[in-house]
Amino acid sequence: MKVLVAIKRVIDAYVKVRVKSDGSGVETQNVKMSMNPFCEIAVEEAVRMKEAGIASEVVVVSCGQQNSQETIRTALAMGADRGILVQSDAELQPLAIAKLLKGVVEKEQPELVLMGKQAVDNDFNQTGQMLSALLDWSQATFASKIEKSDGKLTVTREIDGGLETIEVALPAVVTADLRLNEPRYASLPNIMKAKKKPIDTMSAEDLGVDPSPRLSVVKVSEPPARQGGAKVGSVAELVEKLKNEAKVI
Protein backbone atom coordinates (compact mmCIF):
# COMPACT_ATOMS: atom_id res chain seq x y z
CA MET A 1 0.00 0.00 0.00
CA LYS A 2 1.35 3.39 -0.94
CA VAL A 3 0.89 6.06 1.73
CA LEU A 4 0.87 9.79 1.17
CA VAL A 5 1.45 11.96 4.24
CA ALA A 6 0.58 15.63 4.13
CA ILE A 7 2.66 17.81 6.45
CA LYS A 8 2.65 21.48 7.35
CA ARG A 9 5.37 23.86 8.43
CA VAL A 10 4.23 25.94 11.39
CA ILE A 11 5.69 28.14 14.11
CA ASP A 12 7.50 25.92 16.58
CA ALA A 13 5.29 24.92 19.47
CA TYR A 14 7.78 26.35 22.00
CA VAL A 15 7.89 29.82 20.45
CA LYS A 16 5.92 32.61 22.10
CA VAL A 17 3.78 33.83 19.21
CA ARG A 18 3.49 37.58 18.71
CA VAL A 19 0.73 39.39 16.84
CA LYS A 20 1.91 41.82 14.17
CA SER A 21 1.42 45.43 15.18
CA ASP A 22 -1.05 46.06 12.33
CA GLY A 23 -3.26 43.14 13.41
CA SER A 24 -2.95 41.45 10.02
CA GLY A 25 -1.54 38.20 11.37
CA VAL A 26 1.24 36.84 13.54
CA GLU A 27 4.95 37.53 13.30
CA THR A 28 6.68 34.75 11.34
CA GLN A 29 9.87 36.42 10.19
CA ASN A 30 12.94 34.93 11.86
CA VAL A 31 10.74 32.81 14.04
CA LYS A 32 11.70 29.19 14.57
CA MET A 33 9.53 26.91 12.43
CA SER A 34 8.95 23.18 12.79
CA MET A 35 6.73 20.42 11.55
CA ASN A 36 3.19 20.61 12.95
CA PRO A 37 3.18 18.12 15.86
CA PHE A 38 0.10 16.26 14.56
CA CYS A 39 1.78 15.90 11.16
CA GLU A 40 4.83 14.41 12.91
CA ILE A 41 2.52 11.79 14.37
CA ALA A 42 1.12 11.08 10.90
CA VAL A 43 4.63 10.64 9.48
CA GLU A 44 5.58 8.37 12.36
CA GLU A 45 2.53 6.19 11.72
CA ALA A 46 3.34 5.89 8.03
CA VAL A 47 6.96 4.97 8.76
CA ARG A 48 5.82 2.34 11.25
CA MET A 49 3.49 0.93 8.58
CA LYS A 50 6.44 0.71 6.24
CA GLU A 51 8.57 -1.01 8.89
CA ALA A 52 5.74 -3.47 9.52
CA GLY A 53 5.54 -4.28 5.82
CA ILE A 54 2.06 -2.72 5.49
CA ALA A 55 3.14 0.32 3.50
CA SER A 56 5.21 -0.14 0.36
CA GLU A 57 6.21 3.48 -0.03
CA VAL A 58 5.83 6.62 2.08
CA VAL A 59 5.63 9.89 0.19
CA VAL A 60 5.40 13.18 2.10
CA VAL A 61 3.90 16.30 0.60
CA SER A 62 3.87 19.83 1.87
CA CYS A 63 2.18 22.88 0.37
CA GLY A 64 3.85 26.18 1.08
CA GLN A 65 6.91 28.29 0.51
CA GLN A 66 10.30 27.04 -0.64
CA ASN A 67 11.50 26.64 2.96
CA SER A 68 8.87 23.94 3.57
CA GLN A 69 11.58 21.76 1.99
CA GLU A 70 13.31 21.76 5.38
CA THR A 71 10.17 20.32 6.94
CA ILE A 72 10.02 17.70 4.21
CA ARG A 73 13.65 16.81 4.97
CA THR A 74 12.72 16.29 8.60
CA ALA A 75 10.07 13.78 7.52
CA LEU A 76 12.57 12.09 5.20
CA ALA A 77 14.98 11.85 8.13
CA MET A 78 12.25 10.13 10.14
CA GLY A 79 12.06 7.50 7.40
CA ALA A 80 9.77 8.67 4.58
CA ASP A 81 11.00 7.67 1.10
CA ARG A 82 10.59 10.82 -0.95
CA GLY A 83 9.03 14.25 -0.86
CA ILE A 84 6.87 16.57 -2.92
CA LEU A 85 6.78 20.30 -2.43
CA VAL A 86 3.80 22.12 -3.87
CA GLN A 87 5.37 25.51 -3.91
CA SER A 88 3.23 28.57 -3.36
CA ASP A 89 4.10 31.92 -1.83
CA ALA A 90 0.41 32.82 -1.43
CA GLU A 91 -1.41 32.31 1.85
CA LEU A 92 -2.91 28.82 1.69
CA GLN A 93 -6.24 28.15 3.38
CA PRO A 94 -7.62 24.68 4.12
CA LEU A 95 -9.76 24.46 0.97
CA ALA A 96 -6.85 25.45 -1.27
CA ILE A 97 -4.58 22.92 0.43
CA ALA A 98 -7.24 20.22 0.08
CA LYS A 99 -7.52 20.98 -3.64
CA LEU A 100 -3.75 20.90 -4.08
CA LEU A 101 -3.55 17.62 -2.20
CA LYS A 102 -6.28 16.21 -4.38
CA GLY A 103 -4.12 17.05 -7.39
CA VAL A 104 -1.16 15.27 -5.82
CA VAL A 105 -3.30 12.26 -4.93
CA GLU A 106 -4.43 11.97 -8.54
CA LYS A 107 -0.82 11.95 -9.70
CA GLU A 108 0.52 9.64 -7.03
CA GLN A 109 -2.44 7.27 -6.62
CA PRO A 110 -1.87 6.34 -2.96
CA GLU A 111 -4.28 4.06 -1.16
CA LEU A 112 -4.08 5.99 2.06
CA VAL A 113 -3.58 9.67 2.89
CA LEU A 114 -2.43 10.32 6.43
CA MET A 115 -2.43 13.78 7.91
CA GLY A 116 -2.58 15.60 11.24
CA LYS A 117 -6.05 16.28 12.62
CA GLN A 118 -5.25 19.97 12.63
CA ALA A 119 -2.29 22.34 12.47
CA VAL A 120 -1.33 24.24 15.60
CA ASP A 121 -1.07 27.56 13.76
CA ASN A 122 -4.75 28.15 12.93
CA ASP A 123 -6.32 25.07 14.53
CA PHE A 124 -8.67 24.80 11.55
CA ASN A 125 -9.24 21.03 11.67
CA GLN A 126 -10.71 21.09 8.15
CA THR A 127 -8.21 20.01 5.52
CA GLY A 128 -8.50 16.24 5.99
CA GLN A 129 -12.28 16.34 5.91
CA MET A 130 -12.31 18.58 2.82
CA LEU A 131 -9.84 16.37 1.01
CA SER A 132 -11.91 13.26 1.64
CA ALA A 133 -15.01 15.04 0.33
CA LEU A 134 -13.20 16.29 -2.78
CA LEU A 135 -11.85 12.81 -3.52
CA ASP A 136 -15.04 11.10 -2.46
CA TRP A 137 -12.97 8.78 -0.26
CA SER A 138 -13.81 7.43 3.15
CA GLN A 139 -12.47 9.36 6.11
CA ALA A 140 -11.50 8.60 9.69
CA THR A 141 -10.55 11.58 11.79
CA PHE A 142 -8.84 11.87 15.22
CA ALA A 143 -7.28 8.43 14.93
CA SER A 144 -5.61 6.96 18.00
CA LYS A 145 -5.11 3.51 16.48
CA ILE A 146 -5.00 2.25 12.90
CA GLU A 147 -5.04 -1.38 11.81
CA LYS A 148 -5.23 -2.79 8.30
CA SER A 149 -6.95 -6.01 7.33
CA ASP A 150 -7.97 -7.14 3.85
CA GLY A 151 -8.59 -3.91 2.04
CA LYS A 152 -10.03 -2.17 5.08
CA LEU A 153 -8.79 -0.09 7.95
CA THR A 154 -10.01 -0.40 11.50
CA VAL A 155 -9.56 2.96 13.13
CA THR A 156 -10.04 3.88 16.76
CA ARG A 157 -11.13 7.51 17.04
CA GLU A 158 -10.91 9.85 19.99
CA ILE A 159 -14.32 11.36 20.51
CA ASP A 160 -15.87 13.35 23.31
CA GLY A 161 -16.17 11.11 26.29
CA GLY A 162 -14.50 8.01 24.87
CA LEU A 163 -13.25 6.03 21.93
CA GLU A 164 -15.08 4.96 18.83
CA THR A 165 -13.90 2.15 16.55
CA ILE A 166 -14.91 2.28 12.92
CA GLU A 167 -14.09 0.42 9.76
CA VAL A 168 -13.33 2.33 6.60
CA ALA A 169 -12.85 1.04 3.10
CA LEU A 170 -9.69 1.99 1.24
CA PRO A 171 -8.76 4.34 -0.27
CA ALA A 172 -9.16 6.61 2.72
CA VAL A 173 -8.06 9.81 4.40
CA VAL A 174 -7.10 9.37 8.05
CA THR A 175 -6.16 12.20 10.41
CA ALA A 176 -3.96 11.59 13.42
CA ASP A 177 -4.72 12.51 17.01
CA LEU A 178 -2.19 13.01 19.78
CA ARG A 179 -2.25 9.49 21.19
CA LEU A 180 -1.77 7.62 17.92
CA ASN A 181 1.95 7.22 18.63
CA GLU A 182 5.01 8.99 19.94
CA PRO A 183 7.13 10.25 17.05
CA ARG A 184 10.74 9.14 17.00
CA TYR A 185 13.83 11.31 17.02
CA ALA A 186 15.53 11.17 13.67
CA SER A 187 18.76 9.20 13.81
CA LEU A 188 22.01 10.70 12.59
CA PRO A 189 22.46 8.20 9.71
CA ASN A 190 18.88 8.89 8.60
CA ILE A 191 19.43 12.65 8.71
CA MET A 192 22.40 12.12 6.42
CA LYS A 193 20.48 9.80 4.13
CA ALA A 194 17.57 12.24 3.95
CA LYS A 195 19.82 14.65 2.15
CA LYS A 196 20.03 12.29 -0.79
CA LYS A 197 16.33 11.43 -1.00
CA PRO A 198 14.49 13.11 -3.88
CA ILE A 199 12.08 16.04 -3.44
CA ASP A 200 9.95 16.98 -6.48
CA THR A 201 8.72 20.51 -6.73
CA MET A 202 5.51 21.53 -8.47
CA SER A 203 3.26 24.55 -8.51
CA ALA A 204 -0.47 25.13 -8.11
CA GLU A 205 -0.70 25.72 -11.88
CA ASP A 206 0.94 22.37 -12.55
CA LEU A 207 -1.93 20.83 -10.61
CA GLY A 208 -4.52 23.07 -12.24
CA VAL A 209 -5.61 24.59 -8.92
CA ASP A 210 -6.41 28.20 -8.10
CA PRO A 211 -5.20 28.49 -4.52
CA SER A 212 -6.38 32.05 -3.85
CA PRO A 213 -7.93 32.63 -0.42
CA ARG A 214 -11.69 32.41 -0.03
CA LEU A 215 -11.75 33.71 3.52
CA SER A 216 -10.47 37.10 4.50
CA VAL A 217 -8.94 37.79 7.90
CA VAL A 218 -10.54 40.80 9.51
CA LYS A 219 -8.30 41.17 12.51
CA VAL A 220 -5.83 39.21 14.62
CA SER A 221 -5.40 40.23 18.24
CA GLU A 222 -3.70 38.96 21.38
CA PRO A 223 -5.89 37.05 23.81
CA PRO A 224 -6.79 39.22 26.81
CA ALA A 225 -4.04 39.18 29.45
CA ARG A 226 -4.87 37.05 32.45
CA GLN A 227 -6.09 39.05 35.43
CA GLY A 228 -4.45 38.45 38.77
CA GLY A 229 -6.31 36.24 41.22
CA ALA A 230 -7.86 37.41 44.49
CA LYS A 231 -8.25 35.67 47.82
CA VAL A 232 -11.73 35.54 49.28
CA GLY A 233 -12.43 35.48 53.00
CA SER A 234 -15.23 32.94 53.12
CA VAL A 235 -17.35 30.54 51.11
CA ALA A 236 -20.23 33.00 51.32
CA GLU A 237 -18.08 35.70 49.76
CA LEU A 238 -16.99 33.30 46.99
CA VAL A 239 -20.58 32.42 46.15
CA GLU A 240 -21.51 36.10 46.20
CA LYS A 241 -18.71 36.94 43.80
CA LEU A 242 -19.45 34.06 41.46
CA LYS A 243 -23.06 35.19 41.33
CA ASN A 244 -22.76 38.91 41.04
CA GLU A 245 -19.25 39.65 39.70
CA ALA A 246 -18.42 36.66 37.51
CA LYS A 247 -22.10 35.97 36.85
CA VAL A 248 -21.45 32.28 36.38
CA ILE A 249 -23.93 30.88 38.87
Partner 1 sequence: MSDYRAPIDEMRFVLQEIAGLADIATLPGYEEATPDLVDAILEEAGKLAAEELAPLNQPGDIAGSQLENGVVRTPDGFAAAYRHYVDGGWNALPFDKDHGGQGLPWSLAVAVQEMWNAANMSFALCPLLNQGAVELLQAHGSPEQKERYLAKMISGQWSGTMNLTEPQAGSDVGAARTRAEPDGDRWRIRGQKIYITYGEHDMSENVIHMVLARTPDAPVGTKGLSLFLVPKLLPDAEGNPAERNDLRCVSLEHKLGIKASPTCVMSFGDSEGAIGFLIGEENRGMEYMFTMMNNARLSVGIQGVAIAERAYQQALSYARDRLQGREMGSRDPDSVPIIRHPDVRRMLMTMRAQTEAARALAYFTTASLDRAKADPDPEVRRHQSVDVLELLTPVVKAWCTDIGCEVASIGIQIHGGMGFIEETGAAQHYRDARITPIYEGTNGIQALDLIARKIMRHEGKPALRLLEEVRATQAKVGQAKGAAFSALRRGLDEAADAFEQATGWLMETFPERPQEAAAGATPYLRLTGTLAGGWLLARGALAAAEQIDDPDSDTAFLEAKIATARFYADSILPEAVAAAAAAIRGSASTLALEEDAL
Q: How far is the CB of 239 from partner 1 (least distance, A)?
A: 31
Angle between helices 127-135 and 94-108 (to 10 degrees): 50
19 binds partner 1 (CB under 8 A): no
Chosen residue from 24, 187, 201, 212 binding partner 1 by CB under 8 A: 187
Q: Measured from the CB atom, is 188 or 248 closer to partner 1?
A: 188
Q: Pick from 121, 118, 9, 24: which is nearest to 60 by CA?
A: 9
DSSP state of 178: G
192 binds partner 1 (CB under 8 A): yes
Q: How far is the CB of 2 from partner 1 (least distance, A)?
A: 26
Q: How far is the CB of 73 from partner 1 (least distance, A)?
A: 6
185 binds partner 1 (CB under 8 A): yes
Helical spans, DSSP H, in 109-154: 127-135
Chosen residue from 87, 191, 197, 199 binding partner 1 by CB under 8 A: 191
| Cα separation, 45 vs 115, whole angstroms | 10
| Exposed/middle/buried for residue 92 (C-beta within 10 Å: 0-12, 13-18, 19+) | buried
- Give residues in contact with partner 1 (CB under 8 A): 14, 30, 32, 70, 73-74, 77, 185-192, 194-195
